[in-house]
């Protein structure tokens, strides 16, 4: 397998495999407060160098590649943008927090590469509510097969000194808007692409049928702009130590997104000192795969 290297810059890490920069992790986001500054992965690329993530699209400027975030934490919005208020819709509120990178505890290259990090979730008022230990692990580079994998784990601890309720717009009253947790905004050229689950294929708006469902994995296939061909992202729901099951937030139209949400339609309550652990896997491939090919890939690379 190819060597994977991680190079550090002032505000980002660059991950390289087989001569291709497959990921860039921006750990200091200097965005406007309205965007909920937080670390993010962008761009993510296939081994052939094609981009698969979107960044600050006009419809949601706070969507930045692959991020770990939460929509609602006891009224605080760590997502960015407007906040859903039941009966009133989305409103601009003075409640948008930030996620601060504190330090890397380990950064290692090799056949498998990883970066381990400590972060703090800070409210708009400057209160520290959550501490986080996060790891990104890059592995399973297969140049012949055109695939590589990313494991993303997060351990959140309530350090706010009072009970915290983790939710989503759906737990606040908006139907099928349970986005929260690890959130992947795909490049706009993937809009209208195919979502594949163990139960079947869904094209374009048909993918709405998958919204809020439980499945061990799903895949999103789309075409590239500017260059020929396309790619498939295989996402595993993974695990959560919270009581609610992980449910998929996924759209193909009008914009392409994937999120294994830990609080899609049920809240998680953390008492002071309580810990929530989340773990997910994303497999990036350099072509559009058929449903049988995706099922075989899922069987081979399941966590």
Instruction: Point out which residues pair with 120 in neighbouring strands.
Output: 100, 131
Spatial strand order of the sheet with 164-167 comes to 72-73, 164-167, 268-270
Q: Tens digits of per-residue pLDDT, 189-227?
A: 999 999 999 999 999 999 999 999 999 999 999 999 999
Q: Tens digits of per-residue pLDDT, 13-25?
A: 999 998 999 999 9
Contacts of 146 (CB under 8 A, 6+ apart): 46, 47, 48, 285, 286, 287
8 A C-beta contact, residue 264 and residue 167: no
Contacts of 230 (CB under 8 A, 6+ apart): 193, 221, 222, 223, 224, 287, 288
Structure tokens at 204: 């374009």
- Res 167: pLDDT: 98
Residues of the chain above pLDDT 90, percent: 99
Confidence of residue 1 (pLDDT cuts 50, 70, 90): low
Confidence of residue 2 (pLDDT cuts 50, 70, 90): confident
Give 133's Cβ-side CA count (13 Å radius). Answer: 7
Q: Which of 60, 77, 55 is nearest to 121 (CA)?
A: 77
Contacts of 32 (CB under 8 A, 6+ apart): none
Q: Tens digits of per-residue pLDDT, 100-138?
A: 999 999 999 999 999 999 999 999 999 999 999 999 999
87 phi/psi in degrees, rounded to 5: 90, -15
- For Cα atoms 250, 256, 261, give the angle at the middle one, nearest 5 degrees: 30
Task: Quote the CA–CA distance of 192 and 132 in Å, as a whole number.
Answer: 35
Task: Quote the CA–CA distance of 256 and 222 in Å, as a whole number.
Answer: 9
Residues of the chain above pLDDT 70, percent: 100
Structure tokens at 230: 């396309």
Return the CATH class of domain 4-301: mainly beta
Q: Which of 298, 299, 295 is nearest to 200 (CA)?
A: 295
Domain definitions of the chain by residue range: 4-301
For 54-85, b where at least 16 C-beta lie within 10 A, e where not — what string? beeeeebebbbbbbbbbbbbbebbbbbbbbbe
């Amino acid at each position: 397998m190819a060597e994977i290297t991680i190079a550090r810059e002032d505000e980002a890490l660059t991950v390289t495999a087989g001569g291709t920069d497959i990921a860039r992790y921006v750990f200091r986001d200097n965005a406007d407060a309205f965007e909920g500054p937080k670390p993010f992965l962008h761009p993510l690329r296939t081994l052939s160098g094609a981009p698969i993530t979107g960044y600050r699209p006009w419809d949601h400027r706070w969507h930045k590649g692959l991020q770990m975030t939460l929509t609602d934490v006891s009224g605080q919005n760590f997502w960015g943008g407007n906040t859903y208020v039941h009966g009133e819709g989305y409103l601009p509120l003075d409640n948008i927090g930030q996620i601060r990178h504190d330090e890397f505890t380990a950064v290692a290259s090799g056949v498998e590469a990883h970066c381990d990090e400590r972060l703090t979730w800070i409210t708009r008022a400057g209160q520290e509510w959550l501490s986080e230990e996060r790891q990104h692990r890059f592995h399973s580079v297969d140049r012949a097969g055109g695939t590589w994998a990313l494991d993303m784990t997060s351990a959140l601890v309530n350090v706010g000194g009072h009970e915290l309720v983790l939710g989503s717009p759906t737990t606040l009253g908006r139907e099928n808007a349970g986005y929260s947790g690890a959130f992947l905004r795909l490049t706009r050229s993937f809009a209208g692409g195919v979502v594949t689950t163990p139960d079947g294929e869904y094209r374009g708006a048909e993918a709405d049928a998958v919204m809020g469902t439980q499945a061990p994995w799903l895949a999103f296939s789309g075409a590239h702009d500017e260059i020929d061909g396309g790619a498939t992202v295989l996402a595993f729901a993974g695990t959560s130590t919270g009581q609610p099951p992980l449910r998929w937030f996924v759209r193909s139209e009008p914009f392409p997104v994937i999120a294994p949400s830990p609080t899609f339609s049920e809240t998680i309550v953390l008492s002071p000192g309580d810990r929530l652990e989340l773990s997910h896997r994303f497999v990036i491939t350099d072509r559009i795969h058929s449903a049988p090919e995706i099922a075989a890939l899922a069987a081979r690379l399941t966590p």
